[in-house]
Amino acid sequence: AGDGDCGHTHARAARAIQEWVRARPPPTDSAQLLSALADLLLEKMGGSSGVLYGLFLTAAARPLHNRSDLPTWADAIDAGVEAMQRYGGAAPGDRTMLDSLCAAAQALRALRSPGADPLSVLATAVQSAEAAAEATRQMEAAAGRASYISSARLLQPDPGAVAVAAVLRAVLEGLQ
């Protein structure tokens, strides 16, 4: 939205995650990891992004209880997106973080295919998220902070959409 809040909020989250990882090893169980990250972001990130990421991670953790195979990860991403849409009130095309996240989720559904290569699927999801973030540059804001600002002043891609793509790229690079 042009005020730098999104960047500050995500930087605060990144610092909190770094401190958390330095202080103790993260849980190895997928559901516990996502739940712990949700709690951390809800407590430390702040802003509507912190709440939305918390909702996403909490919902994504549920399908991963007692299972963490690739198709279940696709289910988890879909559950997280659905929770974000339900509680956040935005949808793809509204010029929000959901534009990137939904594009990535669509690509991540390939994890349900037998023999799916997770890094290849994630790389495609990252590319989809980055393209969707860039596409927000041309969108009319219908939700989020940008919806309060004149479209003539919105010259950059949506910061939340860019941040989601950056987070996904960091996950990919970390896994590689």
Q: Is the pLDDT of residue 39 over 60?
A: yes
For 67-120, write each residue's pLDDT tens digit: 989 999 999 999 999 999 999 888 888 888 999 999 999 999 999 999 999 999
Residue 152 pLDDT grade (very low, low, confident, very high; cuts 50, 70, 90) = very low
pTM for the complete prediction?
0.88
Domain-wise residue ranges, the chain: 5-175
For 134-149, write each residue's pLDDT tens digit: 998 876 755 555 554 5
pLDDT in the model for residue 35: 98
User: What amino acid is encoded at 134 in this protein?
Assistant: E
Greater model confidence, 152 or 166: 166
Tell me 148's DSSP state.
Answer: G
pLDDT in the model for residue 163: 93
Report how far apart the first and last C-alpha atoms of the chain are (Å, whole number): 32
Class of domain 5-175: mainly alpha
Q: Exposure string (b/e) for 117-131, b if CB count within 10 Å is 16 or more?
A: eeeebbbbbbbbbbe
pLDDT in the model for residue 148: 47
pLDDT in the model for residue 62: 97
User: What amino acid is encoded at 46 in this protein?
Assistant: G
With CA atoms as reference, report the closest residue to 20 among 37, 38, 6. Answer: 37
Q: Is the pLDDT of residue 12 over 80?
A: yes
pLDDT in the model for residue 91: 87
SS3 call for 24: coil
